[in-house]
Structure 1
Amino acid sequence: MTNPSKIIEGGVEYSLGDFDGTTVHYDFNRILIYLDAKGKLLFGNHFKIYKADRPVLRKLCAYTIRDALTCKRFGIDPEKGLLINGPVGCGKTSLMKLLPHLFPGRRHYEMIPSRNVVFSFNHIGYKTIEDYGNSGYFCFDDLGAEPIGSYYGKDCNVLGEVLLSRYELYLASKGRIKTHATTNLNAKELEERYGDRVRSRMRVLFNLVGFPKQAVDKRI
């Protein structure tokens, strides 16, 4: 029987917890050891798990492994997506790229830079909103930093329209198709960027998990 608590990376076996034959009992400290090793493989030897980021990581890991008790303790709804916010360079994107590796066989979201969605809209128009809004599993990276779209001289808040469509998709799929995003903006700034209608939909779509304002820039 395959042991889902074991993952092999670079010829090294990592244990994420204990498997009793039916259930994996995850161990957060063992998960951190694996994530640190996998992060180095993905991003280079400069990558590391910072002690100050562990409270955020505990929430993200609980969500990813669907630990209902821990999610409840942190006010996280496993049926919603994740909206990760924090200062520039704090590691939001890296973590969202890293977390799916805890479940190698599961279907995962595709990381999409928000600006690329706008660039696509500028090129092919409203089909872009259909492509990203009506299907698929996506994490929109750097939400709020993208420019306003323009197609044949008509401006469009592209990601705002995509999020409205993703909200309808979420409801239609009964929460099966989730949306994730990373952003440098806080709730007030997101509302200013997209309007109160989109912001209200975002409350339904997302769990907000924030890095502290003083989180260091790991890219320096």
Structure 2
Amino acid sequence: MKTRAIQTPYDYYLLMQQLEEHGKNVYGPAFKIEDVDRPVVLKLLAYFLRDEQVAKSEGLDLQKGILLTGKIGCGKTSLITLMRPLSADAYMPHMVSCREISFEFSKIGYDVISRYSRNAFFPYSDIPRVHCFDDLGVEQPVNHWGNSCNVMAEILLSRYDLWISHKMITHITTNLNSQELEEAYGNRLRSRMRAMFNLVIFDINTKDKRK
């Protein structure tokens, strides 16, 4: 691996093996890290281990979040979930489904936006929680008492402001490409997403892991 030419405390070849074994324990014996997916896995390992040298060589900014995109079934959610135990507590992402957030909004309203933005801090501290919003773009438009709201757009806009003021990190998984994201959430949010995320893209030849 090219990481051997970079000064790093980690053996990425061994990490890949261990990650695959962990994946088999969590998702079953059929779990496998395909060769075509290894560049994505390398980026995620470097990022969540906070390995500055390898992250820099992979074009990643550790002050930003991850926007992980790829076709349906390529393993986005699984990989982020497997990265959680590798993360320091302050950087461990809390996984939350965008569909569930839209359902929450229909029940309790605008307090949901605060829950995942200005109230998303560790108790009795100013340390922000890292959230990974899973499957952005699959949530349905919802209403609360007749009021319609693009809930995820509002949450992400609020978290952008908190990224600027409190270094609040956000991660996203999505099947949508850049154009589709702009169509769904508008140019204003898309421009902020370019600032707050490292874009990590699965190869178009990656397999559907669910088959």
- TM-score, with length taken from structure 2: 0.88
Return the offset for 1:24: 7.2
Higher relative contact order (CA 8 A, sep 6+): 2
| Residue 89 of structure 1: aligned partner | 73
Q: Provide the C-alpha distance between the structure 2 equivalents of 1:202 and 1:110, rounded to a whole number of angstroms.
A: 19
2:175 pairs with one of 184, 192, 197: 184
Which structure has more helix as a fraction of its residues?
Answer: 2
| Residue 141 of structure 1: aligned partner | 134
Number of aligned residues: 195
Task: After TM superposition, list the pairs within 5 Å mapping 1:1-220 onto structure 2.
Answer: 25-103=9-87, 106-107=89-90, 108-134=92-118, 135=120, 136-173=129-166, 175=167, 177-220=168-211
CA RMSD across the alignment = 1.5
Return the offset for 1:211: 0.3
Q: Provide the C-alpha distance between the structure 2 equivalents of 1:66 and 1:154, rounded to a whole number of angstroms.
A: 41
Kindly report structure 1 stretches of 4+ aligned residues shifted beyond 4 Å: none
Q: Provide the C-alpha distance between the structure 2 equivalents of 1:160 and 1:145, rounded to a whole number of angstroms.
A: 13
| Residue 125 of structure 2: aligned partner | none
- For structure 1, the 5+ residue unaligned runs are 1-22
Which structure has more strand as a fraction of its residues?
Answer: 1
Larger Rg: 1
Q: Provide the C-alpha distance between the structure 2 equivalents of 1:185 and 1:59, rounded to a whole number of angstroms.
A: 20
Q: Provide the C-alpha distance between the structure 2 equivalents of 1:54 and 1:61, rounded to a whole number of angstroms.
A: 10
Q: Look up the equivalent residue of 2:204 and give its one-letter code.
A: K
CA contact (8 A) 2:8 2:54 kept: no
Q: Provide the C-alpha distance between the structure 1 equivalents of 2:86 and 2:106, rounded to a whole number of angstroms.
A: 36
Q: Provide the C-alpha distance between the structure 1 equivalents of 2:198 and 2:137, rounded to a whole number of angstroms.
A: 17
- For structure 2, the 5+ residue unaligned runs are 1-6, 121-128
